[in-house]
Structure 1
Amino acid sequence: MPHVARVDLPRYMGRWYVIASIPSFPERHAYNAVESYTLLADGRIATDFRYRNASFAAPVKTMHPVGTVQPGTGNAVWGEQFVWPIKAEYVIAYLESNYRTVIVGRSKRDYVWIMARTPTLPEHDYAQLVGKVAELGYDTGKLRRVPQQWPEAVP
């Protein structure tokens, strides 16, 4: 899986809305999915993944993996540890120069995430990102757009 040459980690930190994905099992019916990253003092990345399952009214679910940057990758390849000792590959395959959109993938091409700093994207921008996902070797027919509705309604 190709990755970007360099990621400015402090600039990358913060909230990313999941616009579309070829999702992992837990997130296959996600609504309002958001990844938030915080750089820790030891260089690892605390991740807060929050979503609602199958509807906007469902309770919020969260996962809290910790990312470890692989040396020599320009901060673009991480191991995301959900359960010790297993680390899932996290490859920043595309990152817009203004850090507005990102594509995160895996070498197996089993999962991919299109994320943005905003909960929605113009259709033209989304189509361009889907094209980039195809160029990375993914079957874009498996992409699922994640419903996003903000601000969230209070149940």
Structure 2
Amino acid sequence: MSLLASLISACAGKQLTPIATVPQVDLPKFMGDWYVIAAIPTAIETESYNAIESYKLDDDGTIATTFTFNKGSLTGPQKKYEPRGFVVKNSGNATWGMQFIWPIKAEYLIAHLDKDYTQTVIARNARDYVWIMARTPKISEEDYKKLTTLVNNLGYDMTKLRRVPHNR
């Protein structure tokens, strides 16, 4: 019986502490363009350059999202994805389900947002993907270090973090 318990325990993996989100997000203020500064990328964005995530709050309360980037280089072919964001009730607007393919909604946690709504960190409890984003295509090295330290403190494998080049 102890062998079975060991196997179940091994399959369960390490339990991670849930990531805390910011207490409240002013959705209209959060809308607009966000440049992806760095990410532990999903499969579609491993070769992204000039990556921008744009949000528009629709009348039904969902978020029309447009993710654009150049694939493979700063001048590579432009790719465009249009997932839809669904704000989770009673989350202070800081937890979303991001739907690329119906009916699956990927977890999207606003783990950091500066008071001016100019820099944010989007995380996931699985610690598989993370995005550092800003309203401008470049941020200071000091700010980059602060944000990467925050990501590290959330429990991410920093060897997977990729800085996203921009020429805008």
Structure-1-length-normalised TM-score = 0.96
Q: Residue 80 in 1 paired to residue 98 in 2? A: yes
Amino acid of the structure 1 residue aligned with 2:160: K
Match of 1:96 in 2: 114
| More helix per residue | 2
Which runs of structure 2 are paired with 1:2-151 in the superposition (5 Å)? 2-150=20-168
After the TM superposition, which segments of 4 or more aligned residues of structure 1 sit over 2 Å from their partners? none
Cα distance in 1, alignment partners of residues 41 and 84 from structure 2 = 19
User: What percentage of residue pairs aligned between the two structures are identical?
Assistant: 53
Cα distance in 1, alignment partners of residues 141 and 75 from structure 2 = 26
Deviation string 1:68-110 (CA, Å, 9 cap, x unpaired) is 0000100000000100010111000000011010000101000
Cα distance in 1, alignment partners of residues 116 and 75 from structure 2 = 33
Cα distance in 2, alignment partners of residues 129 and 36 from structure 1 = 20
Q: Which has the larger Rg?
A: 2
Amino acid of the structure 1 residue aligned with 2:164: V
Cα distance in 2, alignment partners of residues 26 and 76 from structure 1 = 24
RMSD over aligned CA atoms reads: 0.5
Structure 1 spans left out of the alignment, 5+ residues: 151-155
Question: How many residue pairs are counted as aligned between the two chains?
Answer: 150
Amino acid of the structure 1 residue aligned with 2:113: L
Aligned-residue offset at 1:58:
1.2
Amino acid of the structure 2 residue aligned with 1:120: K
Aligned-residue offset at 1:20:
0.1
Structure-2-length-normalised TM-score = 0.88
Cα distance in 2, alignment partners of residues 99 and 85 from structure 1 = 30
Aligned-residue offset at 1:59:
1.5
Cα distance in 1, alignment partners of residues 74 and 144 from structure 2 = 22
Structure 2 spans left out of the alignment, 5+ residues: 1-18
Aligned-residue offset at 1:139:
1.4
